[in-house]
Each structure stands twice: as structure tokens, then as C-alpha cells.
Structure 1
Amino acid sequence: MICGYVDSYTLLTFGVYTSFMSGNTIATGMNGGQAKLGAASHALLPIPFFVLGAFIGFLIQKDKSKQQNSLVSMCVAALLFAGVAAAIGAASTSVCVMILSCAMGMMNTTLSQVGGQSVSLGFVTGDLKSIGEQIANLINRTPVALSQGLWDTHWRRLTTLGSIWTCFLIGAIAGAAMAVRVHVWTLLLPAFFLIVLVLTERTTETPKLDSHTVLGGPVEN
């Protein structure tokens, strides 16, 4: 939802995507082919900073732990706040695009799999392809690949993939609606939302039992 929201805002405000790099690549090639070098360079600008953000995100998540994931999410929130500050301070379009592209590159590293199903956050083409694949597997009665248990069915994976696409669409609608109403303040909503998600996850984590104690007492050998 956040990726759809930010992409919708940046496309309306700056004329480029900050998460959907396929769209920027096509725009770069299309404008380059027409010798519109200024437009081509503008469309190209987000790509290296998206890669930079992805690099930083994966570098932080060395062990893929929840703590590292939360740290990346907080970094994304900080970059969104920085994007708002840059817009308020009348920074150039290029600076705003660089900041937000880096944020979305990091965001795309926070979740790549749900159970045994690979998912994409910042672009839904792969998710839609996977929906078609799961429907075909249902019809062919193909066993679930990399099944995580009896609960992990084709229907469960279809629900997961469909919910990601739906949330991405809702985010895009909300991003556009906010962009035309509150302008530079638009990015505050996803930034605060990320912070709330991280804090909620921390407060709901179940404490781990010490290896030498069970129910408050020592383990007898």
C-alpha cells in the first residue's frame, strides 16, 4: 500500500515512478529514442538511487531478523520525512526524486516471501503472474511448491497475492487523492504509518524463554 501510495504521489508531482522501475526504464528508452535527452535523463534518475536503496536495505538485513527489518522500515520513514522537508524547503525535483527513490528501494527489501510464495511490494507484475500460475495449479491439481504445512494451499496463496495487488491499488488511489489536496504533506501519512507498524510489532512480540528455564523454574537434567 505504501509503495503504491508513494508511486502515485511522485508520478503526479514529479512525472516519474520511485518504485516501478520498469516504467522509468520504458520512459527513458522512449524519450531517448525521440532524442528528448532532458526527459530521458529525468526518467533515468530514479533508477540508480532505487538500486542504492535496495543495496542499503539488503546490507542492513544481513540475517533477515525482525529487528533488522524494523530498522529498514524506520530508515524508509526517515527518508519520507526528508522528502517532505525537501519539498517544503523548495529543493529541486531531482533531490526529491533521489530521496524517495532510495526510500522505495529500501522498502522493496523488507518483504520478499510469505510462506513459500515469493511476493513483490513495489511492483505487482510479478504478483499478477503468480496469480495466473496459482489458478493454473489449482485447475491442474498441482501440489503446492515449497509447502509450509496443511494451511499452505493454492487458495491461501491466491488470497495473499490478491490482497497485495488490492492494497497496492488502494495505496495508489489514496496517494493521488492526498497529492491533489495536501500537496507536500502527502508523504507524512505513510511515514507515520510505518512508524506505527514498527512500534506495534515490537509491543506484540512474544518474549523468548531462556534456554535454562521453563515456566519460571530451572530445567531438571
Structure 2
Amino acid sequence: MNRGWQLGTGLVLTALAGYIDALGFLRLGGLYTSFMSGNTTQFAAYAGDADPDRAFLPMLLVGSFLAGAILGSVVAILVPARWATPAVLAFETLLVLAALAIGLVHSEPGLASLALAAAMGAQNAVLAGVKGFRAGTTFVTGALFSFGQKIAEAVTRRGSPLGWLGDGVVWMSLLVGALCGALAYRALNLYALIPPALIAASLAGVTTLLVARARPAAKVSP
């Protein structure tokens, strides 16, 4: 994929992360499926309050996210580099569909959310090889700081007057995705997972076609 496709894919994935995180937050009553800093803080607060029953799920979510990140990275490492993006996207699609299937079979909301946390962990491996690229990850704190920093540089004329635009769009993508996820969950309940599964599957299919049509980079002779 060229950088334009990578940027577009990254913004869509950022919105998808916001969508799934908002859905998980509403379903779990205050926990997250992609924002692991929040879950870590929740665990510490519950543990410090001597409430082990409530501390258990936040740590399970963190563990599931970590497992997804490891497995997604393993997929990206083991397949040829040019196929890493579609392979990880396909893996993420399977995890989202697994969350839907688990949720339809089991009424306990935490079980499906563990699969969603794993999917979000895996998603961070999709564009991990693109240097200087923040979109596509499931967290935007760094992008938000960079957004403010570049606004300061623009105001003081120490940087590009529009240098803040990219990070602002990344943050806005997460915001719009989260709003859509909240509205979809209110209307569709767990079936709100169908759109993100379709989006991830579509991205996997499109990137597969793009990679298949592109010629592999020529090997340089020693």
C-alpha cells in the first residue's frame, strides 16, 4: 500500500477503535475494550479499595488486550512483510466475530468483551511498521498531545501553520467512531458488532487486492 492508503486505513481503524471502545464501555458499565490505561487505573482503584471481585475483570481485559497484541504481532512477523496488514486485519475480523458469537450464546457481558479487547490489541500491529504514523492504533493520547504541541508551534511561528491538522483528524476520527458506537449499541445491542466486523473484513479484502496487484520490491544483490 502507498502512504495515502495507509493514512486512510489508519483513520478508519482509529474510528473503529473508538466505536468498539464506546460499545464496550456501555456494555461493561464503565470499563474499556481498548483504553487499557483506564482499565489499569480501575484495577488499582478497586484493588486499593479491597474489592477483588470488581478488580478481576479490568485485569482480564488488560490480559486479553496484551494477548491480542502478542498474537497480532506474531502474525505480522511470521507472514511476508507485504502481507502483514491484510493478515492482521483478517485476524482482527475473526476476533470481532468471535465476540459477537460469544455474546449471543452467553449473557455474561464480560466474556464477549474479552474477545473485543484482544481484537483491539491485535489492531495495533496493523500499521506498526509505518514510521511516524499515529493513526490506526487504539489510543490517541500521544496524538492529542502532538495536536496541542503543533498548535503551539503554529501560533509561535516555530512550525508549519497547518502542522496540527493530521493529529487533529486522528483525534476526531476516534471521537466520531465512539459516538457512532454508542448510538449503534443503543439501537442494536450486541448486533452493533456487525458493522465493525464488516469494516475490518472489507479493509482486509481491499488491502489483499492492493498487495496482490503490487509488484514485490526487487531484491538487491550483495
Provide TM-score, normalisation by structure 2. Answer: 0.80
- State the AA in 2 paired with 1:20: F
Q: 1:172 to 1:37 in 2, by over 3 A?
A: same
For these two proteins, the number of residue pairs brought into alignment is 201
- 2:111 corresponding residue in structure 1: 95
Q: What amino acid maps onto 2:125 in structure 1?
A: T
Deviation at 1:113, TM superposition (A): 6.8
Tell me which of 9, 23, 27 is aligned to 1:13. Answer: 27
Asked whether 1:24 is paired with 2:39, we answer yes
Which has the larger helix fraction? 2
The alpha-carbon deviation at position 128 of structure 1 amounts to 0.5
Q: Deviations over 1:83-106 (max 9, x none)?
A: 111111125333212211111100
Stretch of structure 1 that moved more, 114-123 or 71-80: 114-123
Report which stretch shifted further, 32-41 or 68-77: 32-41
RMSD: 2.5
Q: Is the 8 A contact 1:113 1:119 kept in 2?
A: no
Which 4+ stretches in 1 moved above 6 angstroms? none
Aligned partner of residue 18 in structure 1, secondary structure: coil
2:214 paired with 1:207: yes
Which one of the candidate residues 186, 197, 203 is aligned to 2:203? 197
- CA pair 191-66 structure 1, distance change in 2 beyond 3 A: farther
| Amino acid aligned to 1:207 | A
Letter in 1 for 2:166: T
Structure with bigger gyration radius: 1
Cα displacement (A) at 1:33: 1.8
> Among residues 16, 30, 39, which one is paired with 1:2 in the alignment?
16
2:172 is matched with which residue? 166
Q: Between the two proteins, what is the percent identity of the paired residues?
A: 27
Equivalent residue in structure 1 for 2:184, among 175, 178, 201: 178
Alignment of 1:37-52 (within 5 A): 37-52=52-67
1:58-98 Cα distance to aligned partner (Å, 9 max, x none): 11212783411111111111111111111111253332122
Give matches, 1:22-171, under 5 Å: 22-62=37-77, 65-90=81-106, 92-112=108-128, 116-119=132-135, 121-139=137-155, 155=162, 157-171=163-177
In structure 2, stretches of 5+ residues that fail to align are 1-14
Name the SS for the 1:186 alignment partner.
helix
1:133–1:183 Cα change, 3 Å: same
Retained in 1: the 8 A contact 2:85–2:207?
no
Structure 2 CA distance for aligned equivalents of residues 59 and 154 of structure 1 = 40
For 1:179, give the aligned amino acid: Y
- Report if the CA contact (8 A) 2:72-2:91 is conserved: no
